[in-house]
Structure 1
Amino acid sequence: MSQATRIERAPVVLKLEQVSRWFGNVVAVNDVSMTIGAGVTGLLGPNGAGKSTLIHMMSGFLPPSSGSVTVDGQATWHNEGIYRRIGLVPEREAMYDGVSGWDFVLANARLHRLPDPKAAARRAIETVDMLEASSRDVGGYSKGMKQRIKMATALVHDPDVLLLDEPFNGMDPRQRLQLMDLMTELGRTGRVVLFSSHILEEVEQIAGGIEVMVAGRHAASGDFREIRRLMTERPHQYTIRSSDDRALAAALIADGSTSGVELGDRLNVQATDYTRFAHRLPVFARERGIRLYEVTPADESLEKVFSYLVNR
């Protein structure tokens, strides 16, 4: 993808204050407050955590049931003017398959009443490296190409806030790296660039700040190193198979890195000091002549990792 035009702008602040959203009796987002400044921020959480609902409220397409969402103090809901400052890349396609990529982006430029919509459309399409394919109908695009043309529609009016809902879905490794570079460059110009993901590695590679959502609640906030530390320091469950589970269990019980072991068909271990456990386990096995056949984390699902952050 082409490099974004480097135009410095005044730093932007996207703010949520005690935001909740419910649909009937279902609470999708519960009392969320966060402040997001310029740069790239990852909205991290398992599927169903409320990330898309938050993004829809941030973009002004969904009203909060309570609380407020603002960009530089201006409400995003029921505020036509704010749409000129926000670009949205939704997770769902919501595209017209019989329309060319060029016409799709151009239509968005005209909707924003830009002074030169054709120049703006071309610039946005070049930015996402889709100029060559822009004459083709959207229905013939791959998933990754659709993601890129949606990115062009979100950039066509040069927004201050760019919101991306699972933007890497369907992209091949090369496209993912190109999009990461583009998002990083956009964040450096003073924009708020917020993207949602349920994949920790995606967020780790480009996000300066992280907001973690679990079950509609705001679980944690900070830079990636701090969130990673919280995740690493939580109790870890492991399943182990070895040539002598009983002897290995005795050694682990006596060591300060574990809070409990359970013998059965396999050895189940709860490690409270992950770093020490990872270091000591092979040492214990070597010292006692025990062969390790399997060491498997038993609770590494995002739901369990993030639930620990909520309940800590």
Structure 2
Amino acid sequence: MTTVTMDGVSRWFGNVVAVNDITMTLEPGVTGLLGPNGAGKTTLLHMMAGFLAPSRGTVTVGDQPAWRNPAVYRQLGLVSEREAVHGFLTAHEFVLASARLHKLPDPVAATAAALDLVEMAQFKDRRIDTYSKGMRQRTRVAASLVHEPQVLLLDEPFNGMDPRQRMHMMELLHRLGAEGRTILFSSHILEEVEQLSGTVQVMVAGRLAASGDYREIRRLMANRPHVFAVASTDDRRLAVALMAQPSVAGVELAATGLTVRASDYGGFTRALPKIALKEGIRVSRLTPSDESLESVFSYLVEA
């Protein structure tokens, strides 16, 4: 069983810090790397795969350094977010090329087994440029698995997959993790991580913001303060009534309406209609004003 260890790892490009002082160890099983776009997930994966040198700190795969060490690729597979697949090749030819690069003793048999794993055997002789995005993704996963690596790194692997393809891929990764392989996949969608991972690493702005069981991460996200923009026929009277609610942490009154900071999302959304009805106030607008992924994840940094 192979672990991946990052110790005090940072990476910067000029004056831009992409990854900032991250320490983590990936154990056998499936781990989700969760964060908004631009959080540094791809940079982190590329350092684990030996494509980038850390500006500071160390990355090891097993007991070997990842950087400038081709030997790690005997036990590591990578599916990058950016496609690099020649469309004129068939899936069989593409995966076979990977098998031959790894100098496998029987590359043809290994290719057939890898394509069968991702349910691409029946399409193996079609050109890749005739595939859907989901089929191309599965072909790339097959190429990364052909040498049966102990470590598998996947960057946004479910992009373009339909629901059935996604379910099959999740089952496959579960099975590989249960066999003792170390699997890390990145995503900006919490539901993907929930379905696959016991452990979640959350990245925000290059930093490790939270780490632990996905249920705990979900609880932190659900329980964070929520901000709503509210407009009504009597904002001042509504503000006074809302301030008496235990689910409301603060209210700001402006010419454009109210900004309400709710400490309990469910409590506030249940209380507002009752208050409006009791006070004879008509609410014309209620919109979450902080529902971007960036705001959700950034809350974890401060939690």
Which of 204, 214, 233 is the equivalent residue of 1:224? 214
How high is the TM-score relative to the length of structure 2? 0.93
The letter for the 2-side match of 1:31 is D
User: Is 1:47 the equivalent of 2:37?
Assistant: yes
Identify which range, 103-112 or 136-145, moves more after superposition: 136-145
Q: CA deviation at 1:55?
A: 0.5
The letter for the 2-side match of 1:297 is P
Quote the residue 1:115 is aligned against: 105
Which of 85, 92, 104 is the equivalent residue of 2:94? 104
Structure 1: distance between partners of 2:129 and 2:86: 7
SS in 2 for 1:57: helix
Pairwise mapping of residues 171-186 of structure 1 onto structure 2 (< 5 A)?
Answer: 171-186=161-176
User: Is 1:130 the equivalent of 2:104?
Assistant: no
User: Is 1:257 the equivalent of 2:247?
Assistant: yes
SS in 1 for 2:121: coil
Q: CA deviation at 1:62?
A: 1.4
Q: Cα RMSD over matched residues?
A: 1.8
Pairwise mapping of residues 156-175 of structure 1 onto structure 2 (< 5 A)?
Answer: 156-175=146-165
Listed as ranges, the gaps of 5+ residues in structure 2 are: none
SS in 2 for 1:268: strand
Quote the residue 2:68 is aligned against: 78
SS in 1 for 2:222: helix
Q: CA deviation at 1:286?
A: 4.4
- Per-residue deviation, residues 221-274 of structure 1 (Å, max 9, x unmatched): 111111122222222101234455443322211122222213343332111233
Structure 1: distance between partners of 2:235 and 2:173: 49
User: Is 1:271 the equivalent of 2:257?
Assistant: no
**Taking structure 1 as reference, are residues 243 and 175 closer, same or farther at Cα in structure 2, changes over 3 Å only?**
farther
Listed as ranges, the gaps of 5+ residues in structure 1 are: 1-9
Identify which range, 232-241 or 210-219, moves more after superposition: 232-241
Quote the residue 1:147 is aligned against: 137
**Taking structure 1 as reference, are residues 286 and 177 closer, same or farther at Cα in structure 2, changes over 3 Å only?**
farther
Quote the residue 1:19 is aligned against: 9
SS in 2 for 1:234: coil
User: Is 1:297 the equivalent of 2:288?
Assistant: yes
SS in 2 for 1:15: strand
- Per-residue deviation, residues 148-196 of structure 1 (Å, max 9, x unmatched): 1000001101111111101111112221122112111211111111111
Q: CA deviation at 1:297?
A: 1.4
Q: CA deviation at 1:289?
A: 4.9
- Per-residue deviation, residues 118-172 of structure 1 (Å, max 9, x unmatched): 1110000011111111111112222111101000001101111111101111112
Structure 2: distance between partners of 1:106 and 1:294: 58
How high is the TM-score relative to the length of structure 1? 0.91
- Per-residue deviation, residues 3-46 of structure 1 (Å, max 9, x unmatched): xxxxxxx4x32211100111222221111111121221111111
- Per-residue deviation, residues 97-135 of structure 1 (Å, max 9, x unmatched): 111110110010111111111111000001111111111
Identify which range, 243-252 or 225-234, moves more after superposition: 243-252
Structure 2: distance between partners of 1:133 and 1:266: 57
The letter for the 2-side match of 1:304 is S
**Taking structure 1 as reference, are residues 291 and 195 closer, same or farther at Cα in structure 2, changes over 3 Å only?**
same
Identify which range, 259-268 or 155-164, moves more after superposition: 259-268
The letter for the 2-side match of 1:57 is M
Quote the residue 1:68 is aligned against: 58
Quote the residue 1:7 is aligned against: none
Structure 2: distance between partners of 1:181 and 1:266: 48
Which of 246, 271, 275 is the equivalent residue of 1:284? 275
The letter for the 2-side match of 1:109 is A
Identify which range, 213-222 or 279-288, moves more after superposition: 279-288
Quote the residue 1:3 is aligned against: none
The letter for the 1-side match of 2:10 is S
Quote the residue 1:6 is aligned against: none
Aligned length: 302
Structure 2: distance between partners of 1:17 and 1:35: 8
Quote the residue 1:28 is aligned against: 18
